[in-house]
Amino acid sequence: MKTAVTDDFFDVIIVGGGVMGSATAYHAAKRGLRTLLLEQFDFLHHRGSSHGESRTIRATYPQHHYYSLVMESYTLWQQAQAQIGYTVYFPAHHLDIGPAQDPILRAVIDNCRRHNMPHEVLNRRQLAAKFPGRIDIPDDWIGIFNRLGGIIKPTKAVAMFQSLAHKNGAVLKDKAEVIDIKKDAENGVVVYASNGESYRGRKCVVTVGAWVNKLVKKVSGIELPIQPLETHVFYWRVKEGHERDFAVGGDFPTFASCSGEGGIYVYGTPTLEFPGLVKVAVHGGNPCDPDKRPWGSGFRVEDLKKWIQARFMGLVDSSEPVVKQACMYSMTPDEDFIVDFLGGEFGKDVVVGGGFSGHGFKMAPVIGRILTELAVDGFASGVDITPFRISRFIMNSRI
């Protein structure tokens, strides 16, 4: 195929128009940088990890390095939605539940104390008093309640970042699948698309979600240990007459549940997008090739039904979900992100953001800032990216 080189030269080329790439384009364009955002499918497509109706935002992590990222993201979400003029972030309280001695919950409590985050540790009786008739836990479980929860509207959020990037001068191109990235003999990089076009830029940021390992391996020979998973979110009907008890804007929280050794990690949100339906899903999924999706029926659905029946005291119909939506995870072995320079012949000219492992969406605004600063400045202010370095993994490489 003959390659058509465009005349434009960009300060930064971002490959991948999901939430991470779109947030990066927003930050880059806001800085006055000549910015290009490329997406292999239609913008706002449903084949990756950035579509749908809701994502949870919470500050209760067992790992301490996420706290500052989430707290900055709360601010950045509100700043961006003020600029666009519509709402993507809906505040809520947050509740973590699970066995009292579960190491994840103990680490969450330690981090709440470490960061002086106001929280309450509740036993079964205290939790029943806070959410009467709605949430029940076994006697040997606890709840960790705090006010730093919330819901993000994902498709709306991606559209927001793309609109703001365009408003600030970014060039946006969809149906532009990137098949290779090479060093420019003169300066920077050349990005090649399957449509025969190529684009020149000083720096490149790769944020292609479940496709990141395929593209990075093609470009550099580095095989990142990122496993794409097909996952599903489910919406369940609240019993008639109790809809307001589970609605956003009241006291019902976003929630997460550690079910102990061999159990499932469940998460969910209050009713928002579908009236009378509460979102409850399992963190995890089935391995897949993102280009050959099975579009399966779900992951551990029977276990999820039992969890709903046991926790919501009969107020949520656990017989079958009313709505099912498929999504993708990009899992690293430790479930920490990859945010780093690609290195090798590219040095600091190519930055990779990937492996967000089913919990990165909430931090998209700050990840976009970090990726922009790494690409343009060579470092990210106020952030230690050591936990996100590629070098923490053993890699097979030809460079």
pTM across the whole model: 0.96
How far is Cα 331 from Cα 328, in angstroms, rounded to an integer?
10
Report the greatest alpha carbon distance in the chain: 70
To the nearest whole percent, how much of the chain has pLDDT over 70?
Answer: 96
How far is Cα 48 from Cα 209, in angstroms, rounded to an integer?
7
Q: Which helix (H) or strand (E) holds 27?
A: helix 19-30
How far is Cα 152 from Cα 156, in angstroms, rounded to an integer?
9
Query: Which pLDDT belongs to residue 396?
Result: 43
Say yes or no to pLDDT of 71 above 60. yes
Residues 6+ apart with CB under 8 A from 173: 36, 37, 38, 39
Rounded to an integer, the average pLDDT of 301-314 is 96
Per-residue pLDDT reduced to its tens digit, 163-177: 999 999 999 999 999
Using left for φ > 0, alpha for ψ between -120 and 50, and beta otherwise, residue 71 falls in alpha
Per-residue pLDDT reduced to its tens digit, 74-109: 999 999 999 999 999 999 999 999 999 999 999 999
Per-residue pLDDT reduced to its tens digit, 213-242: 999 999 999 999 999 999 999 999 999 999
Structure tokens at 67: 């706290």
